[in-house]
Amino acid sequence: ETGVTQTPRHLVMGMTNKKSLKCEQHLGHNAMYWYKQSAKKPLELMFVYNFKEQTENNSVPSRFSPECPNSSHLFLHLHTLQPEDSALYLCASSPRQGSNTEAFFGQGTRLTVV
Amino acid sequence: SQKIEQNSEALNIQEGKTATLTCNYTNYSPAYLQWYRQDPGRGPVFLLLIRENEKEKRKERLKVTFDTTLKQSLFHITASQPADSATYLCALDITGANNLFFGTGTRLTVIP
C-alpha cells in the first residue's frame, strides 16, 4: 500500500462514452501526476499539478481532461476516446514538484476502449 | 528520439548471481536519478535515488552507480532471488522542469 489509491482498477468504455478516473493520496503531498503506460513504451507523463495548479500538459489530446480540486484528489475525465488510448493509467504523488524525492504511484487503472 | 535508454528489454539470470541493469541518458545533466520496480499490472515502486554528486548508493542487496560523464547509471542486485523477478525502471528529469521521465524498463527473470 503506497498511500495512493486509484479507482476503478479496470474500465471498459466505448468510444462515445464519458468516464472519469479518480486518484486519492493520503500522504500530505502537494504534487500529483498522471502517467500513461502502453505496452512496449515508457511511462508517458501527461499532466502535473503542484499545489492544485496545473504546471504541465505534455501535449495531451483534449479528450483527456484533468481536474485537481484539492491537493489530495486528482481526476482524469475521459470522453470520445480512441482504441489507441487503451493503456494503464497511473497516478503518482510527491511532496511537491521538484522536491528531488521519489514518486509514490497508485496501482493504476487498466483502461480498454472498444 | 529516445532520451532515456535501458539497453536490455529482458534479462535472465540464475538465482544467486548478480544482475546488472543499465540506464543511459542524453541531452541533459540531471541532478538525480531514480530506480523503480514494477510488477505486472501494478504501479512502480521506488527503490533508490542517487544524486549527481554521489558515485554509488546501496540498500541491502541493491547497488546503484551514477556516472555523469558517461551519462549512465548501473543497477545491481546481488545474490538474486526468484522474487526479484520484475521490470526495473530508471527515471530522471531530462528537461529541467522537475518532472520524472522513465525509460522503457528491463524485465528481469531470476531462474531458480
Omega into A8 within 30° of 0, i.e. cis? Answer: yes
User: Which chain B positions have a beta carbon within 8 Å of A101's beta carbon?
Assistant: 49
Question: Which residues are within 8 A (CB) of A93 and not within 5 positions of it... i.e. 6 or more apart?
Answer: A3, A4, A25, A27, A29, A31, A32, A33, A103, A104
pLDDT of res. A43: 93
Question: Which residues are within 8 A (CB) of B69 and not within 5 positions of it... i.e. 6 or more apart?
Answer: none
**Burial B7-24, CB ≥16 within 10 A → b, else e:** eeeebebeeeeebbbbbb
pLDDT of res. B93: 81
Closest CA in chain B for residue A108: B43
Closest CA in chain A for residue B42: A107
What is the percent of chain B where pLDDT is above 70?
97
For A98-107, write each residue's pLDDT tens digit: 777 889 999 9
38-97 in chain B: CB under 8 A from chain A = 41-46, 49, 51, 89, 91, 97
- Give the three cell numbers for residue A18: 464519458
A92 close to B (CB below 8 A): yes
pLDDT range class, residue B2, cuts 50, 70, 90: low
CB-based contact A103 B102, cutoff 8 Å: no
Residue B69 DSSP symbol: T
Q: Which residue has the higher pLDDT, A94 or B96?
A: A94
User: Which chain A positions have a beta carbon within 8 Å of B104's beta carbon?
Assistant: 40-42
pLDDT range class, residue A2, cuts 50, 70, 90: confident
pLDDT range class, residue B100, cuts 50, 70, 90: confident
Nearest to B34 among A2, A4, A102 (CB): A102
B17 has pLDDT over 60: yes
A81 has pLDDT over 90: yes
